[in-house]
C-alpha cells in the first residue's frame, strides 16, 4: 500500500519529522457492508449489560448509558450522535518535549501511548467548537465504553466544512476512552455532536446473549434443523466431532469445515497410585477431545457470545471441570449430542449420568438427538432424586410433575394381566380430579417405568401409551460377549417415550434409580425377586415412605414366592422390628381391588406402615 501522511498543525509537522521506518502508526479497518449495524435495537439491548469482568458492553458516561447518546436509523444504518462537552482540548507547550519519547514508543509498539498524550492536554472550557481557519480541532465527549462493535465517525454527517482525521475508528476494547475526536477543515458553524456508525464483530465475539438470538432459538425448536446440522459433521460415526454455534444463520449454513474432528484414541491411565502420571495422562486426553478448543476459547475470553455446543458423542466426564467452570456455564446455554458413547453406543456410564445431574444443577440443558425415536429428548432431573431421564420436549412437564408407577415382572412372559393393568391405570386417571393426595391430585401426572425390555415390561409400556400416560424405561445393556452371555438378550420394546440407559456393570444402581411411588409386580423370575427385595429395603430403611405395592396374580403364586422366606425370617428373628413391612404388599387379581386399595391410601384410611398390623403370609390377600 502507498500511504500519505499529512500534518495540519506545527505540532503535527514536528511529529512527522520524528517518524522512522518501523513505527506502528495505525491499523487497517475493513468496513464490510455485511457487518454494518442497521437496526438500533441491536445496540439498545447492550445498555445496562456488562462482560464477565463487570465492564459495560456499551455505555456513554456510565453503565446504564446516557441521554447524550442518541440512536437513529439513517440510510439503512444505525447512527449514534454523541453530544460534545463545552470547550475544546489543546496541548500544553510541554508536548514538544514528549514527542521524541512518543516516536521511540511507536517503534516498539508500546501500548497506552494514546493515553500518555492525555497528560499534556489542556482543557479550555470556554472556547467555541468551530474551525475559523485550516487547523485541528480537538473536542471531547463523555467517556465511551464499547465491547460489542467497532465504531467509526461518519464524515458525511458532520457539519459542512468539518472532517475527521484518519484515526476515526474506535475498537471494541474501548473503555472510558474514545472521548477525544480530532477534526480539521474550515467552518464558522459550531459542532454539537459526533456521528458514529457501527460494525459488528465475528458472531462469537459479539457478547450477544442466547435469549437475544431469535433466529438461533427458532432454528433449534425445529428438530429437522438440528438433525441437518449434525449431518454436516464430517468423518464416520466412530470419530469424535464438535462445533460451537452462536447464531441462527451459522447453524443453518454449517459445513464440514466448521467442525473439529478427532480420532477416539484410547489412553492408558496409570491410576491413582501414580498421581503425577495420572494427571498428565488425563490432561493429554482432555486436550485431544474435539470440545476442548471451544471450551478453552470460552475460558480465555476468545468466545464471548452465548451459544450451544454440538457434539456427536456425549462429552467425556473428564471435561466436567471445564463444562462447569464459571465462564463456560455462563456462555454455553445448551448441549446437543447424537450418541451417548463412542464405544458403548446408546448406553451411558455411571460418570456420564453423574455429569448429567451436575449439568442440570448448573442450569445447562442437555439434548439427545435420538435416531431410534427420531425425536429430540431433553435430560430432565427428577426433583428430590439423584437421577433423571431423557424426555421428549412436549412431555417434559409431565415427567417433572409425575407420580411414578412401575411394572416389575418377567422378561420372558407377558402373562394375562394387560386388561386389568389398563383398567387400573384408567381408574387412577379418573381419581385425579377429585383427589388431594401428593401422589394423586389435579396437578399431578402419571408416568409408568419399566426396564424397557420384552415380556411384562412391554405390557407395562404398551398399556401406558394406550391410556395416555408417560411411558418410561431404565434400559440396561445386556449385550454381553458371546463367551460371557448367561441370559437371553432383552430387546428394547417400541412403546417408550422417556428413557435412561445403563451399562451392565451398573445393574444394581439402575434398579435403585427407579424411585417408584407405586410399584406393581407381575409374576417373574430372579430379576423380579431382586426388585421385590429392593422395594422391601427401601421401605424398611425409610428411603421412601410406606406406600402400597400391588402383587398381581393368584395368592397361591405369591405364597410360594414370599411366605416361606418371610416366616423363616420371623422365626429366626432376623426381621425383628420390620415385620410391619408385610402390610405394604397387597395381592390382587382385579383392577377394582387395586383401585380400592389406592383410594383408601389416598384418603389416609389404609392401615400401612410401622404402626400397622403384621400379616403372617408376608403380604395382604385382596383388600385389607
- Read off the pLDDT of residues 8-19 as tens digits, 9 standing for 90 and up: 889 999 999 999
Q: Is the pLDDT of residue 624 over 80?
A: no
Instruction: Work out the number of other CB atoms within 10 angstroms of the CB of residue 372.
Output: 10
What phi-psi label fits residue 119: left (phi over 0), alpha (psi between -120 and 50 degrees) or beta? Answer: alpha
Segment 314-334 mean pLDDT: 95
Angle at 267 between CA 261 and CA 268, to 5 degrees: 180
Segment 609-619 mean pLDDT: 95
Task: Tell the CATH topology of 10-201.
Answer: Deoxyuridine 5'-Triphosphate Nucleotidohydrolase; Chain A (2.70.40)
Q: Is the pLDDT of residue 178 over 80?
A: no
Q: For residue 124, what is the enclosing H or E element?
A: strand 121-124
CB distance 617 to 562 below 8 Å: yes
- Quick: pLDDT tens for 516-528: 999 999 999 998 9
Q: Is the pLDDT of residue 262 over 70?
A: yes
CATH number of 207-381: 3.40.140
Query: In the CATH hierarchy, which top-level class contains the domain 397-624?
Result: alpha beta
Give the burial class of 318: count Cβ atoms within 10 A of its Cβ; 0-12 exposed, 13-18 middle, 19 or more buried. Answer: middle
Q: Is the pLDDT of residue 385 over 90?
A: no
Q: What is the CA radius of gyration of the chain?
A: 35
Q: Is the pLDDT of residue 621 over 80?
A: yes
Confidence of residue 485 (pLDDT cuts 50, 70, 90): low
Dist. CA 598–CA 314, nearest whole Å: 41
pLDDT of residue 267: 67
Segment 382-392 mean pLDDT: 92
pLDDT of residue 176: 58
Grouping H, G, I as helix, E, B as strand and the rest as coil, residue 298 is helix
Segment 30-40 mean pLDDT: 91
- Quick: pLDDT tens for 442-463: 999 999 999 999 999 999 999 9
**Domain ranges (residues) in the chain:** 10-201, 207-381, 397-624
- Quick: pLDDT tens for 215-228: 999 999 999 999 99
Segment 173-189 mean pLDDT: 81
Grouping H, G, I as helix, E, B as strand and the rest as coil, residue 608 is coil
Q: Higher model confidence: residue 178 or residue 457? A: 457
Q: Is the pLDDT of residue 63 over 80?
A: no
Q: Is the pLDDT of residue 479 over 90?
A: no
Q: Is the pLDDT of residue 481 over 60?
A: no
CB distance 379 to 388 below 8 Å: yes
Grouping H, G, I as helix, E, B as strand and the rest as coil, residue 572 is helix
pLDDT of residue 272: 75
Q: Higher model confidence: residue 417 or residue 487? A: 417
Q: Is the pLDDT of residue 41 over 90?
A: no
Angle at 588 between CA 584 and CA 590, to 5 degrees: 140
pLDDT of residue 254: 96
pLDDT of residue 143: 79
Q: Is the pLDDT of residue 488 over 60?
A: no
Confidence of residue 534 (pLDDT cuts 50, 70, 90): very high
Report the candidate in 335, 287, 332 with the shortest Cα–Cα distance to residue 307. 332
What phi-psi label fits residue 54: left (phi over 0), alpha (psi between -120 and 50 degrees) or beta? Answer: left
Give the burial class of 212: count Cβ atoms within 10 A of its Cβ; 0-12 exposed, 13-18 middle, 19 or more buried. Answer: middle
C-alpha cell at 34: 455485511
Q: Is the pLDDT of residue 50 over 70?
A: yes
Dist. CA 406–CA 517, nearest whole Å: 8
Segment 120-131 mean pLDDT: 90
pLDDT of residue 68: 63
Grouping H, G, I as helix, E, B as strand and the rest as coil, residue 345 is strand
DSSP letters spanning 474-526 = EEE-----GGG--S---PPPS--SEEEEE-GGGHHHHHHTT--SEEEE-S--H
Q: Is the pLDDT of residue 66 over 70?
A: no
pLDDT of residue 351: 95
Q: What percent of the chain has pLDDT over 90?
A: 69
CB distance 131 to 189 below 8 Å: no
Segment 96-110 mean pLDDT: 94
Dist. CA 479–CA 401, nearest whole Å: 33
Segment 125-130 mean pLDDT: 90
Confidence of residue 482 (pLDDT cuts 50, 70, 90): low
Dist. CA 542–CA 362, nearest whole Å: 29
CB distance 123 to 87 below 8 Å: yes
Segment 190-209 mean pLDDT: 91
Dist. CA 307–CA 129, nearest whole Å: 46
Q: Higher model confidence: residue 133 or residue 379? A: 379
Amino acid at each position: 500500500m502507498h500511504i500519505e501522511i499529512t500534518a495540519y498543525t506545527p505540532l503535527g509537522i514536528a511529529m512527522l519529522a520524528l517518524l522512522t521506518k518501523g513505527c506502528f502508526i495505525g491499523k487497517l479497518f475493513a468496513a464490510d457492508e455485511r457487518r454494518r449495524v442497521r437496526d438500533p435495537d441491536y445496540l439498545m439491548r447492550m445498555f445496562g449489560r456488562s462482560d464477565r469482568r463487570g465492564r459495560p458492553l456499551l455505555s456513554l458516561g456510565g453503565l446504564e448509558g446516557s441521554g447524550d447518546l442518541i440512536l437513529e436509523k439513517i440510510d439503512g444504518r444505525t447512527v449514534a450522535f454523541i453530544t460534545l462537552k463545552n470547550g475544546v482540548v489543546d496541548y500544553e507547550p510541554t508536548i514538544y518535549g514528549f514527542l521524541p519519547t512518543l516516536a521511540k514508543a511507536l517503534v516498539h509498539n508500546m501500548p497506552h501511548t494514546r493515553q500518555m498524550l492525555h497528560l499534556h492536554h489542556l482543557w479550555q472550557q470556554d472556547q467555541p467548537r468551530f474551525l475559523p481557519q485550516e487547523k485541528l480541532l480537538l473536542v471531547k465527549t463523555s467517556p465511551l465504553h464499547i465491547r460489542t462493535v467497532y465504531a467509526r465517525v461518519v464524515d458525511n454527517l458532520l457539519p459542512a466544512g468539518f472532517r475527521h482525521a484518519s484515526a476515526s475508528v474506535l475498537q471494541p476494547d474501548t473503555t472510558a476512552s474514545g472521548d477525544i475526536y480530532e477534526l480539521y477543515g474550515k467552518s464558522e458553524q459550531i459542532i454539537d455532536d459526533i456521528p458514529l456508525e457501527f460494525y459488528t464483530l465475528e458472531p462469537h465475539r459479539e457478547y450477544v446473549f442466547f435469549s437475544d438470538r431469535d433466529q438461533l432459538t427458532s432454528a433449534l425448536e425445529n428438530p429437522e434443523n438440528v438433525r441437518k446440522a449434525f449431518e454436516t459433521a464430517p468423518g464416520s460415526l466412530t470419530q469424535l466431532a464438535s462445533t460451537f454455534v452462536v447464531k441462527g444463520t451459522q447453524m443453518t449454513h454449517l459445513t464440514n469445515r466448521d467442525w473439529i474432528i478427532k480420532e477416539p484414541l484410547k489412553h492408558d491411565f496409570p491410576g491413582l497410585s501414580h498421581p503425577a502420571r495420572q494427571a498428565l495422562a488425563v490432561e493429554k486426553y482432555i486436550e485431544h477431545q474435539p470440545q476442548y478448543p471451544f471450551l478453552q476459547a470460552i475460558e480465555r475470553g476468545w468466545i464471548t457470545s452465548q451459544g450451544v455446543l454440538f457434539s456427536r458423542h456425549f462429552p467425556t466426564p473428564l471435561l466436567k471441570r471445564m463444562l462447569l467452570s464459571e465462564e463456560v456455564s455462563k456462555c454455553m446455554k445448551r448441549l446437543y449430542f447424537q450418541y451417548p458413547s463412542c464405544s458403548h453406543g446408546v448406553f451411558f456410564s455411571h460418570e456420564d449420568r453423574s455429569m448429567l445431574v451436575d449439568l442440570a444443577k448448573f442450569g445447562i440443558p442437555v439434548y439427545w438427538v435420538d435416531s431410534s425415536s427420531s425425536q429430540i429428548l431433553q435430560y430432565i432431573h427428577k426433583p428430590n432424586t439423584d437421577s433423571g431421564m431423557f424426555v421428549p420436549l412436549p412431555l417434559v412437564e409431565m415427567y417433572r410433575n409425575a407420580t411414578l408407577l412401575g411394572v416389575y415382572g418377567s422378561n420372558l412372559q407377558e402373562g394375562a394381566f394387560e386388561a386389568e393393568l389398563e383398567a387400573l391405570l384408567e381408574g387412577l386417571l379418573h381419581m385425579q380430579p377429585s383427589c388431594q393426595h401428593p401422589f394423586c391430585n389435579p396437578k399431578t401426572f402419571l408416568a409408568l417405568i419399566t426396564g424397557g425390555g420384552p415380556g411384562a415390561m412391554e405390557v407395562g409400556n404398551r398399556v401406558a401409551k394406550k391410556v395416555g400416560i408417560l411411558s418410561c424405561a431404565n434400559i440396561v445393556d445386556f449385550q454381553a460377549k458371546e463367551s460371557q452371555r448367561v441370559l437371553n438378550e432383552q430387546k428394547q420394546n417400541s412403546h417408550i417415550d422417556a428413557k435412561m440407559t445403563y451399562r451392565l456393570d451398573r445393574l444394581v444402581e439402575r434398579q435403585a434409580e427407579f424411585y417408584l411411588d407405586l410399584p406393581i409386580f407381575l409374576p417373574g423370575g430372579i430379576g423380579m425377586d431382586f426388585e421385590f427385595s429392593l422395594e422391601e429395603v427401601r421401605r424398611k430403611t425409610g428411603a421412601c415412605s410406606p406406600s402400597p405395592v400391588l402383587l398381581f396374580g393368584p395368592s397361591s403364586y405369591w405364597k410360594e414366592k414370599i411366605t416361606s422366606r418371610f416366616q423363616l425370617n420371623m422365626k429366626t428373628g432376623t426381621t425383628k422390628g420390620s415385620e410391619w413391612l408385610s402390610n405394604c404388599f397387597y395381592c390382587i387379581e382385579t383392577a377394582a381391588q387395586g383401585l380400592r386399595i389406592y383410594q383408601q391410601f389416598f384418603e389416609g384410611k389404609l392401615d400401612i406402615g410401622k404402626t400397622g398390623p403384621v400379616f403372617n403370609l408376608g403380604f395382604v390377600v385382596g383388600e385389607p
